A and B are shown apart, each in its own frame.
Chain A
């Protein structure tokens, strides 16, 4: 398969770009931030997103979606990266759907059509400590009657404050660090014992801390198999990592485009600053990093869709690489914009903040480089 978007994917990109660029430029995000909007994203736009088929992009056709894959998710995420449009796309259309696709027939029939319709929002609750370490999950899922009782706390739950359904990783057996003993649960955020604290983050996007205090869940709310949630979690996290990597490609590309334009208009010492070789070479280096990253991310997404055994290594490469490239892009972006880059009035700082969050989201560059080393046995 060529490492390019096919015709259908190109059309999808154009339609995503059309809507996002037109309706939700960076100023849309700025308004939400300035207003300290309680929802943090536009529900109207999410409705339009679902009408355009984006909410159900990954939902199988039998459940009212388009039945598309990781590459298509990446196409939309890359466009989101260009304007920083706040949207439940990642939490619901990518992570939520990818998890629920592994559910029972009843679970799929219950939730997937509603997601495709834009009527249901989900949030994946994994992280507990300062860093993304899914195997370190300690949240207690003790058997209780016919079901389980959940105790513990989750952090950095993307869109956790607006979700209608939480997908929660708990430890039903074993000790933190072990792969066996993980179970995923579908939990109603209004259930007794749950408290949700919306966390204001540096990037003004949505996240929450959620505590679980003797929360009762039934056996029917288990997603997949009890104690064997590790593999399911890997596959869900990997598609999410690929999607975030794609967002970082879009973000890097946007910052780079803005920066190169600035190099061509800003004058100092009587000439355009883009004439200085010190800046030219750094811009050319950044261009190369972005193109290399773009290829690595597309490759990883294609391998996920192929179900290739090499997909996990490719995802580790893509997320690690996208993280370092985005970090470089935003730093060069601010530096090359000089004092303007430091002002809140200027958009470039938004990208720097978002890149920092995307780094931590689902594992930073160090985490994924370490994963690669483990996969290669050293």
Chain B
């Protein structure tokens, strides 16, 4: 017959995980302040760390410090680098338990979501020792120097030069769309160390301090009225050659590896801080009919269809992690997820705007939290551009997964 009894080993493993779950649940219950279990209402609710880190509240500080001390700002990193040393299943359980009480992330940073994985894979021991613990502890805030005015979707055509000068490089050029460059302490940056060969060759991945002489930043005002991105200028910035991550001229490998993590992060943006269910938000402003259904049948249908897709995407994200753990993941799958997740997040915000009606049009008032909803709506339009446009993502899927000709 088909039935094969589960082995004893499986059962032991399960009970260890069950115990981890109950301990985690109890610890979170005791240590997560109630204020940190509410959906975030503005950017200030996010703690980014860094040399000039500011806590927006005492509970935010407490929550961060407690999680940091457990190593749970980066639960899956090794303990020697300030992580929690958890395995894949334990990390998943921690995330589930945090989600169950709507706990906020204690620390958000590009060091965690983007640079960290690349450092763990490509860093020397010295580089890992130097940077990872400071990321885990929120001491250094990082920004990403990838795009340039003439190297957007075609990132590999970047022109920022790094010229050899003894043990150093002298870096000159311009980056654009550098998220929070004006708040960042360090930058991980793509520079051209060799212009003689093909465009993908001759790129290096280098790390340096944003307070170095010759670095300047200029925020870019966006359609949302906010400036999360900057233009970043380098004028003969001196950087030791030992700051190159990975092999000189092979920085494109590091960049691509990091982009997979960046794309996974962006695809998950819609899930985080979802807070009050969309349908309820709509009922709050529009009202319900006698049977309790949203009093706008067409919008109700749109919301329901959206929530089908959103729930399905959450399953796909969960499966992607499981596939990766099992060694069965396609390396380009994060591009498919990035495409889907960002398009979905744009749809979510279109629905939020429609649900809010004229109330969601207010731009400057306390009542509207200074136009939080329309500004967030406009911000999401960048989701399908940053980190690789939807069109670039589809091209990657067509070429690397579907193996279509000439893609």
Binding site for B on A (CB under 8 A): 2-4, 8, 12, 53, 57, 61, 66-68, 72, 260, 263-264, 271-272, 274-275, 277, 280-281, 283-285, 287-288, 291-296, 298-299, 313-314, 316-318, 320-321, 324, 365-366, 368-370, 372-374, 376-378
| A288-B339, A299-B318, A378-B282 known; A275+B406 contact, CB < 8 A | yes
| A67-B3, A288-B336, A299-B315 known; A373+B402 contact, CB < 8 A | no
Residue B319 interfacial (CB < 8 Å): yes
Query: Is the CB–CB distance between A288 and B315 below 8 Å?
Result: no
Query: Is the CB–CB distance between B307 and A376 below 8 Å?
Result: yes
Minimum C-beta distance from A179 to chain B (A): 14
Taking a contact as CB atoms closer than 8 A, the residue among A66, A280, A295, A365 that contacts B316 in the complex is: A295
**How far apart sit A78 and B116, CA to CA, in the bound complex (Å)?**
39
Q: Which residues of B contact A316 (CB under 8 A)?
A: 308
Q: Which residues of B contact A372 (CB under 8 A)?
A: 304, 307-308, 311
Minimum C-beta distance from A265 to chain B (A): 10
**How far apart sit A291 and B315, CA to CA, in the bound complex (Å)?**
10
Query: Is the CB–CB distance between B340 and A283 below 8 Å?
Result: no
- Chain B 303-357 interface residues, beta-carbon cutoff 8 Å to A: 303-305, 307-309, 311-313, 315-316, 318-319, 322-323, 325-326, 328, 333, 336-337, 339-340
| A284-B398, A373-B300, A376-B277 known; A298+B319 contact, CB < 8 A | yes
Query: Is the CB–CB distance between B304 and A369 below 8 Å?
Result: yes
Q: Which residues of B contact A277 (CB under 8 A)?
A: 395, 407
Residue B391 interfacial (CB < 8 Å): yes
Query: Is the CB–CB distance between B288 and A317 below 8 Å?
Result: no
Given A284-B339, A287-B397, A377-B292, 15 more pairs with CB closer than 8 A: A2-B322, A3-B315, A4-B328, A67-B3, A263-B404, A280-B404, A281-B398, A287-B336, A288-B336, A288-B397, A292-B309, A298-B315, A299-B319, A373-B307, A378-B279
Taking a contact as CB atoms closer than 8 A, the residue among B279, B326, B403 that contacts A377 in the complex is: B279
Query: Is the CB–CB distance between A275 and B405 below 8 Å?
Result: yes
Residue B301 interfacial (CB < 8 Å): yes
Query: Is the CB–CB distance between B319 and A283 below 8 Å?
Result: no
| A281-B398, A284-B398, A377-B279 known; A314+B318 contact, CB < 8 A | no
- Could you pull out 21 A-B pairs where Cβ atoms are within 8 angstroms? A4-B322, A66-B1, A264-B403, A272-B406, A280-B402, A281-B391, A281-B394, A284-B393, A284-B395, A284-B401, A287-B402, A288-B339, A292-B313, A295-B312, A295-B315, A299-B318, A321-B309, A368-B308, A372-B307, A372-B311, A377-B279
Minimum C-beta distance from B142 to chain A (A): 30
Residue B280 interfacial (CB < 8 Å): yes
Which residue, of A293, A318, A366, A369, has the highest number of chain B Cβ atoms within 10 A? A369
Minimum C-beta distance from B198 to chain A (A): 22
Minimum C-beta distance from A111 to chain B (A): 19
**How far apart sit A366 and B308, CA to CA, in the bound complex (Å)?**
10
Query: Is the CB–CB distance between A373 and B293 below 8 Å?
Result: yes
Q: 1/0 per position for B372-407, CB-CB distance to A under 8 A? A: 000000000000000000010111011001111111
Interface of A is mostly: helix
Query: Is the CB–CB distance between B402 and A283 below 8 Å?
Result: yes
Minimum C-beta distance from B317 to chain A (A): 8
Taking a contact as CB atoms closer than 8 A, the residue among A3, A272, A291, A378 that contacts B405 in the complex is: A272
**How far apart sit A318 and B1, CA to CA, in the bound complex (Å)?**
29
Of chain B, the residue at the smallest CB distance from A302 is B315
Residue B100 interfacial (CB < 8 Å): no
Of chain B, the residue at the smallest CB distance from A296 is B312
| A274-B405, A372-B304, A376-B277 known; A280+B326 contact, CB < 8 A | no
Interface size class of B (residues with CB under 8 A): 35 or more
Which residue, of A321, A365, A373, has the highest number of chain B Cβ atoms within 10 A? A373
Q: Which residues of A contact B277 (CB under 8 A)?
A: 376, 378
Of chain A, the residue at the smallest CB distance from B325 is A2
Minimum C-beta distance from A354 to chain B (A): 21
Taking a contact as CB atoms closer than 8 A, the residue among A12, A287, A369, A378 that contacts B294 in the complex is: A378
Minimum C-beta distance from A177 to chain B (A): 11
Taking a contact as CB atoms closer than 8 A, the residue among B2, B293, B305, B402 that contacts A66 in the complex is: B2
Q: Which residues of A contact B288 (CB under 8 A)?
A: 378
Query: Is the CB–CB distance between A283 and B307 below 8 Å?
Result: no
Taking a contact as CB atoms closer than 8 A, the residue among A57, A281, A284, A296 that contacts B311 in the complex is: A296
| A274-B404, A287-B336, A378-B283 known; A296+B316 contact, CB < 8 A | yes
Q: Across chains A and B, which 4 residue pairs bring their CB atoms closest together, nearest first?
A: A378-B279, A296-B312, A284-B397, A280-B398
Q: Which residues of B contact A373 (CB under 8 A)?
A: 279, 293-294, 300, 303-304, 307
Q: 1/0 per position for B73-105, CB-CB distance to A under 8 A? A: 000000000000000000000000000000000
Query: Is the CB–CB distance between A378 and B328 below 8 Å?
Result: no
Of chain A, the residue at the smallest CB distance from B326 is A4
| A57-B2, A280-B394, A288-B336 known; A264+B404 contact, CB < 8 A | yes
Query: Is the CB–CB distance between A53 and B1 below 8 Å?
Result: yes
Residue B4 interfacial (CB < 8 Å): yes
Which residue, of B293, B305, B313, has the highest number of chain A Cβ atoms within 10 A? B305
| A275-B405, A378-B277, A378-B300 known; A320+B319 contact, CB < 8 A | no
Which residue, of B280, B305, B397, B404, has the highest number of chain A Cβ atoms within 10 A? B404
Minimum C-beta distance from A215 to chain B (A): 35
**How far apart sit A2 and B401, CA to CA, in the bound complex (Å)?**
23
**How far apart sit A369 and B299, CA to CA, in the bound complex (Å)?**
12
Of chain B, the residue at the smallest CB distance from A265 is B405
Q: Which residues of B contact A284 (CB under 8 A)?
A: 336, 339, 393-395, 397-398, 401-402
**How far apart sit A203 and B346, CA to CA, in the bound complex (Å)?**
37
Query: Is the CB–CB distance between B405 and A283 below 8 Å?
Result: no
Q: Which residues of B contact A264 (CB under 8 A)?
A: 403-405
Minimum C-beta distance from B311 to chain A (A): 4
Q: Which residues of B contact A67 (CB under 8 A)?
A: 3
**How far apart sit A368 and B313, CA to CA, in the bound complex (Å)?**
17
Query: Is the CB–CB distance between B3 and A61 below 8 Å?
Result: yes
**How far apart sit A321 and B337, CA to CA, in the bound complex (Å)?**
16
Q: Which residues of A contact B318 (CB under 8 A)?
A: 3, 295, 299
Q: Which residues of A contact B323 (CB under 8 A)?
A: 4
Which residue, of A263, A271, A295, A318, has the highest number of chain B Cβ atoms within 10 A? A295
| A287-B397, A299-B318 known; A293+B304 contact, CB < 8 A | no
Q: Which residues of A contact B282 (CB under 8 A)?
A: 378
Of chain B, the residue at the smallest CB distance from A322 is B312
Of chain A, the residue at the smallest CB distance from B3 is A66
**How far apart sit A274 and B399, CA to CA, in the bound complex (Å)?**
10
Q: Which residues of B contact A2 (CB under 8 A)?
A: 322, 325-326
Taking a contact as CB atoms closer than 8 A, the residue among A260, A281, A292 that contacts B312 in the complex is: A292
Q: Which residues of B contact A288 (CB under 8 A)?
A: 336-337, 339-340, 397
